[in-house]
Amino acid sequence: MSLLGIRGSFFDFIDDPWKHVGAESEAARFLADGLLVVEDGIIRAFGPFADVSPAYADIEVRHFPDRLILPGFIDGHIHFPQTRMLGSYGEQLLPWLKKWVIPEELRYKDPAYAREGAARFFDALLASGTTTCQAFTTASPVSTEAFFEEASRRNVRVIAGLTGIDKNVPEDFTDTPENFYADSTRLIARYHRNGRNLYAITPRFALGASEALMSACERLKLEHPDCWVNTHISENPAECRGVMELFPDCPDYLAVYESYGLVGPKFSGGHGVWLSDGEFRRLSQAGAALTFCPCSNLFLGSGLFRLGRATDPEHRVRLSFGSDIGGGNRFSMLNVLDDAYKVGMCNATLLDGSVDPARRDPAEAERNKLSPYRAFWSITLGGAEGLYIDDMLGNFEPGKEADFVVLDWNGGPAALPWRQSMVLEGKRPHSMEEAAGLLFGLMTVADERAVDETWVMGRRLYKRA
Ligand code: GUN
Ligand code: ZN
């Protein structure tokens, strides 16, 4: 048995801030001087230092007096084999896949390249404060194995799966539905719930799937109902048109996945930029999730995700936020929040009636405003709820896994410390509002330089140089 105490200022969430319009801080929890007690990687106790410490008088305590400690960030949609092609120039989704993604992902058939890619991926992830991700691999099982092996070595909780594609790309990039089914079955047996690994049945997207590949996914989900399902949906207009031609019997994009029994709890559709109101409603009723990937949607020019529509209490859709590396150009979830905030502000303008009076909707405009509460909930507890892993992690509740990030609120560009001094009364935050003000500064002005340390299952895996 190993016990360790972490002392410092803690910020986490106990509820969804979109349920507390006008009083969002009620969804959050801030301890100016708290103690987190970790036993064998699991949180045993959490609360104000003065209350918790007497019962743990003899344990080793690490003290972080000038830091904010948050649950580790969750990236709900990322492509591990696209780590090297960050910032690939000049194309929208479909030509970008052809020009940049396919040549790079083909390299992951080579076990040595796949191992190096996986190691570099996790280095970048942890340096960004991200402790859990849901990842795409490639159509080659070599890459999927390399990913799970590296995740296991570091004991990081991940969701991932062999990424099926058998249409609309060159033949050497495809797999057959039979191979996909057989390899997925083998990989599920080997990795699903082995250590912290979780398996997602992963059709890459409907535009790359034959009916036979979709049927293989349906069969896998029926045979392994405990597995996750991860894919893309309604990212780009040309992609959406192509899907409607490929599946003419389906009235819309979501109906493709529905007709193969994939849409329910533990389903994640990346992007959802062009979904109809009816599709939002059906996702909500099914308990399925979308992943908001603003860096990617801006970088590839895909469009503006309607955050205020997805969070409509009448048909609330579960959400996680994702970097979508390398469609997204930043690993840091702080940068994802930065772009999400800007997308929300643009949506709010479109909904204030000044562009089109018929679209005026002040309540939806308000739901697009990404306050620091909504933002950091979305990449911690909210992301965990979207991925159905909030029973394991997402906040500092005892019994959960001790994944957390130690943030330096002055870490970032030269202009940051003076900006942060605007919201700090003393040397460190003493109120929830001060802490939230610092976090908003981090998400809009900083980047991964703010990450001082990243801890996974009570072990430090990253320390800033
Ligand atoms: N749709 C299918 N494959 C991909 C991919 O690799 N990235 C993004 N952004 N969308 C996709
Ligand atoms: Zn993607």
User: Is 87 buried (19+), middle (13-18) or exposed (0-12) by CB count in 10 A?
Assistant: exposed
Atom 3 of ligand 1: nearest residue by CA position: 204
296 Cβ closer than 6 Å to some ligand 1 atom: yes
pLDDT score recorded for residue 209: 98
Q: How far is the CA of 423 from the centre of ligand 2 (A)?
A: 36
DSSP secondary structure string, 154-178?
HT-EEEEE-EE--SSS-GGG---HH
pLDDT of amino acid 20: 97
CA 415, 416, 418, 423 torsion-angle sign = positive
Ligand with an atom nearest the CA of residue 101: 1
What is the rounded (10 degree) CA torsion for 109, 160, 407, 392?
A: -150
The residue written with tokens 């899907």 in the block is 243
Task: Show Cβ contacts of residue 357 under 8 Å, excluding neighbours closer than 6 positions.
Answer: none
CATH classification of 73-386 is 3.40.50.10710, yes or no? no
What per-residue confidence (pLDDT) applies to 283? 98
Ranges in the chain annotated CATH 2.30.40.10:
3-71+395-463
Condensed to tens digits (0 to 9), the pLDDT of residues 238-294 reads 999 999 999 999 999 999 999 999 999 999 999 999 999 999 999 999 999 999 999
Indicate the burial class of 251 (C-beta count within 10 angstroms; 0-12, 13-18, 19 or more): middle
Between the CA of 232 and the centroid of ligand 1 the distance, in Å, is 7
Which ligand is located closest to the Cα atom of residue 269?
A: 2
Distance 293 CA to ligand 2 centre (A): 8
**What local confidence, expressed as pLDDT, does residue 2 receive?**
87
* Residue-level pLDDT at 45: 98
Which residues belong to CATH 3.20.20.140 in the chain? 73-386
For the stretch 101-111, pLDDT in tens is: 999 999 999 99
The answer to whether 305 and 294 have CB atoms below 8 angstroms apart is yes
- Judge if the beta carbon of residue 44 lies within 6 A of ligand 1: no
- Structure token pair of residue 55: 């019962």
Cβ-based burial of 275 (10 A; exposed 0-12, middle 13-18, buried ≥19): buried
Q: How far is the CA of 87 from the centre of ligand 2 (A)?
A: 14
Dist. CA 1–CA 39, nearest whole Å: 7
Q: Is the CB of 104 under 6 A from ligand 1?
A: no
Of the listed ligands, the closest to the CA of 295 is: 1
Q: For residue 78, which ligand has an atom nearest its CA?
A: 2
Report the candidate in 84, 115, 77, 111 with the shortest Cα–Cα distance to residue 100: 84
Number of other residues whose CB lies within 10 A of the CB of residue 278: 13
Q: For ligand 1, is residue 77 a contact (CB within 6 Å)?
A: no
Whether the Cβ atoms of residue 139 and residue 162 lie closer than 8 Å to each other: yes
CATH number belonging to domain 3-71+395-463: 2.30.40.10
Q: In degrees rounded to 5, what are phi and psi of residue 149?
A: -65, -45
Taking the CA atoms of residue 276, residue 204, residue 160 and residue 225 in that order, the dihedral angle to the nearest 10 degrees is: 70
In 263-396, beta strands by DSSP E: 267-271, 289-292, 318-321
pTM higher than 0.95 for the full model?
Answer: yes
Closest CA to 422 of 438, 406, 411, 444: 438
What pLDDT is attached to residue 1?
65
pLDDT in tens, the chain (465 residues): 689 999 999 999 999 999 999 999 999 999 999 999 999 999 999 999 999 999 999 999 999 999 999 999 999 999 999 999 999 999 999 999 999 999 999 999 999 999 999 999 999 999 999 999 999 999 999 999 999 999 999 999 999 999 999 999 999 999 999 999 999 999 999 999 999 999 999 999 999 999 999 999 999 999 999 999 999 999 999 999 999 999 999 999 999 999 999 999 999 999 999 999 999 999 999 999 999 999 999 999 999 999 999 999 999 999 999 999 999 999 999 999 999 999 999 999 999 999 999 999 999 999 999 999 999 999 999 999 999 999 999 999 999 999 999 999 999 999 999 999 999 989 999 999 999 999 999 999 999 999 999 999 999 999 999
- So what's the pLDDT on residue 77? 99
User: Are 240 and 234 in contact, with CB atoms under 8 Å apart?
Assistant: yes
Which residues have their alpha-adjacent CB atom under 5 A from ion ligand 2?
A: 270, 324
* Ligand 1 atom index nearest CA of 105: 6
**Assign residue 353 a region: left if phi > 0, alpha if psi is -120 to 50, beta otherwise?**
left
